[in-house]
């Protein structure tokens, strides 16, 4: 799987409410560091985008352009030139207004407006998107994913602040000098005077272009087709159907085989942390654990690194994570509670969870937040194994139940 985008909900580890997206991309292989130049709000009505294309061509650099529907409609030839030059094009919605707290119909209309404009310009469909102002929510992520725009909005790691009229060419240039391997650089080629950005990029590529490879974002090289959410073993009327569709479209899980989800199968601890890690955007972190039973290259390796790094799990004992052991309901809600910032809540109604149990507060949070209401009005069944249907529903509910 390619480098992924930051997600919300579980990303409260980083921020509460709307998520301002930032974080490292996975650097690509090779001896020369890779940098991803990105440009928002275009293409420009003036010559900036066209001149940027010339500058990039002069240095053999590729970039990703996040375009808006009105600008595409006014400048179809420039959009076609971006595509013809081998750059990637991402969807920046139909204008620079936020996508927070919008209805599914409104979100899809906004994304489709840009897709239709791209088609009219002869450009391929986008396979990624960036949120205006960098702020998204689970509902916007799901609407975009349903149109093949990826599981969530593209982030950045370096902000040149060229969007501010107070930022000088020299300051943009100085920020560009800070980039390193895997960085995603936020710049703008539309919605205002971007001559300072053009000048800074020209200077940077002239002076330091040989220090890096400049490539299009891997997540923006797809075919614009959404992942399949058509599972023959998930009926539309089931209580977990919406959660499974969300998990498939946002690539939290793609099922157990073509057209198969296996909702009743038990979930292992390795699978559980992987679901949470993917929902958090697959952040890349340094290993901080010494679990001898987490093999290098295992599908859950990075997820365990992330979970241990963020205090979501400390394993089952010294040097042991137990990746193949089934996860219990108590463990599952504890992982989620820790990932959501360990909120303190009041009492719960479950007689099988004592106040001195290590999972008492996670269970109380899960009950109060609607993640789960237990196995009966008065029982939680903390030692019971969690199924795939249950776990994706727990995670989906913690993401505020986005639906289409």
- Residues with a catalytic annotation lie at 40, 188
Q: Which tokens sit at 178?
A: 């800070």
Dihedral over alpha carbons 245, 327, 330, 242 (to 10 degrees): 10
Q: How far apart are CA 53 and CA 264, in angstroms?
A: 52
Dihedral over alpha carbons 259, 273, 263, 331 (to 10 degrees): 180
Residue position matching structure tokens 């300051």: 171
**Which residues, in sequence order, are bridge partners of residue 213?**
34
Pairing, β 184-188 against β 34-42 = parallel
Is residue 10 within 8 Å of residue 339, measured between CB atoms?
A: yes
Residues shown for the chain: 404
CA distance between the termini of the chain: 25
Is residue 218 within 8 Å of residue 28, measured between CB atoms?
A: yes
65 closest CA partner among 197, 176, 175, 164: 197
DSSP state of 225: P
Q: How far apart are CA 317 and CA 322, in angstroms?
A: 9
Q: Tell me how far CA of residue 314 lies from CA of 6, 291, 305, in angstroms.
A: 24, 9, 10
Residue position matching structure tokens 């750059």: 87
């Amino acid at each position: 799987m390619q480098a992924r985008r930051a997600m919300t909900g579980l990303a409260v580890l980083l921020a509460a409410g709307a998520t301002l997206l930032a974080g490292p991309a996975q650097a690509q292989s090779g001896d020369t560091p890779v940098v991803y130049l990105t440009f928002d709000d275009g293409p420009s009505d003036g010559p900036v985008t066209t001149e940027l294309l010339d500058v990039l061509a002069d240095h053999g650099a590729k970039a990703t352009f996040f375009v808006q529907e009105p600008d595409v409609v006014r400048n179809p030839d420039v959009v076609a030139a971006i595509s013809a030059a081998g750059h990637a094009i991402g969807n920046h919605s139909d204008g620079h207004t936020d996508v927070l707290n919008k209805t599914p119909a409104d979100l899809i209309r906004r994304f489709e407006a840009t897709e239709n404009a791209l088609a009219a310009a002869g450009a391929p469909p986008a396979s990624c998107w960036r949120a205006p102002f960098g702020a998204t929510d689970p509902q916007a992520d799901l609407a975009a994913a349903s149109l093949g725009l990826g599981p969530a909005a593209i982030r950045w790691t370096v902000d040149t602040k060229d969007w501010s009229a107070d930022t000088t060419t020299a300051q943009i240039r100085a920020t560009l000098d800070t980039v390193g391997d895997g960085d995603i650089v936020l710049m703008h080629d539309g919605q205002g005077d971007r001559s300072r950005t053009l000048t800074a990029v020209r200077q940077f590529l002239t002076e330091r272009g040989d220090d890096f490879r400049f490539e299009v974002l891997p997540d923006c090289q797809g075919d614009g087709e959404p992942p399949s959410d058509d599972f023959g073993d998930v009926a539309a009327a089931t209580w977990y159907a919406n959660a499974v569709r969300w998990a498939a479209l946002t690539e939290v899980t793609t099922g157990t085989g073509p057209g198969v989800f296996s909702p009743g199968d038990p979930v292992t601890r390795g699978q559980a942390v992987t679901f949470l890690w993917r929902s958090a955007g697959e952040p890349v972190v340094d290993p901080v654990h010494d679990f001898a039973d987490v093999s290098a290259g295992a599908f859950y390796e990075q997820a365990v690194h992330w979970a241990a790094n963020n205090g979501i799990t400390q394993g089952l004992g010294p040097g042991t994570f137990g990746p193949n052991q089934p996860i219990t309901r108590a463990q599952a809600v504890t992982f989620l509670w820790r990932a959501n910032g360990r909120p303190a809540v009041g009492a719960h109604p479950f007689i099988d969870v004592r106040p001195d149990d290590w999972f008492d507060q996670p269970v109380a949070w899960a009950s109060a937040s609607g993640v789960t209401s237990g196995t009966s009005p008065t029982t939680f069944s903390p030692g019971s194994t969690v199924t795939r249907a249950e776990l994706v529903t727990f995670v989906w509910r913690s993401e505020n139940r986005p639906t289409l």
